[in-house]
Amino acid sequence: MRSATERREQLKEVYGRALGCTACPLHQTRTTVVFGAGNADADLMFIGEGPGANEDKQGVPFVGRAGKLLDTLLEEIGLDRASVFIANVVKCRPPGNRDPHPEEIESCHPFLRAQVELIEPKVICTLGNFSTKLLRGDPTGISRLHGQDEVQTIGARAIRLLPLFHPAAALYTPSSLQTLRDDFARIPALLAAPPLPQPHLADEQPDSPQSQPEVEPETDEAIEVASEQLGLF
């Protein structure tokens, strides 16, 4: 089993690879890689779709209006951003905030899988259709699935998955906002549930360099600075 320190150091290595990734065309238009941010030992992880304009500038996920709503919803259940980890399906902003293309999602998936395996969350909340369909491996939409938790195996981790409406959608639909708030209220009970038995693969290393995009990592100095900004220490 990896210690918390070992997992954190490996997460920083994955981050370094993501910073230099050119595996899909999104690297040509990004300002920065939005790897994710929060507690590297979090029991609760949120996974959205992709960075928007504000995230692309600041390098941190969910910093706009949707991020403020997410902060409010967390506060309502006794949590805050520092206690969770937030990431996206793709780490670079799709131009014009368009939907990410299948090949872009596929290129980024090894990074997301490594994040899940190294952070070891008990619960993952998918925000919206893209992350829900990806992590479930099923095309069923969020409107049918929201608020219904299930056990899923992500890479080598068994987790409780809770699909939720994306906060951005809830901003424009009052009924969706109340539904999102009601679904959020289910999170504390899921976090308090007994730990799930883990597959035997849990002791293996997540996504070897051969299975990740072939990129050169950024310098140690760049990784250290960016990791500190994202709270990976």
C-alpha 15/C-alpha 36 separation (Å) is 9
Distance of CA 42 to the CA centre of its chain: 12
DSSP code of residue 94: P
30: CB partners within 8 A, 6+ apart: 56, 92, 93
- 4-192 sits in which CATH class? alpha beta
DSSP code of residue 31: S
**SS3 of residue 228 by DSSP:** helix
**SS3 of residue 148 by DSSP:** coil
C-alpha 154/C-alpha 198 separation (Å) is 11
Q: Are 42 and 118 in contact (CB under 8 A)?
A: no
Token pair, residue 158, equals 């068994």
> What average pLDDT does the segment 162-186 reach?
95
Token pair, residue 48, equals 């959205």
Please give the model's pTM, rounded to 2 decimal places.
0.88
C-alpha 19/C-alpha 218 separation (Å) is 6
pLDDT of residue 2: 81
- 86-112 pLDDT, tens digit each: 999 999 999 999 999 999 999 999 999
**SS3 of residue 23 by DSSP:** coil
Where exactly are the structural domains of the chain?
Answer: 4-192
- Strand 157-164, strand 123-127: pairing: parallel
Buried/exposed 167-204: b ≥16 CB within 10 Å, e otherwise = bbbbbeeeebbebbeebbebbeebeeeeeeeeeeebee
Residue 95's CB: how many other CB atoms inside 10 A? 11
Statement: residue 210 has pLDDT above 50? no
> What average pLDDT does the segment 19-47 reach?
96
Token pair, residue 125, equals 């909340």
> CB-hemisphere CA count at 13 Å for 29?
13
C-alpha 76/C-alpha 84 separation (Å) is 14
- Average confidence score pLDDT of the chain: 89
- 120-139 pLDDT, tens digit each: 999 999 999 999 999 999 99
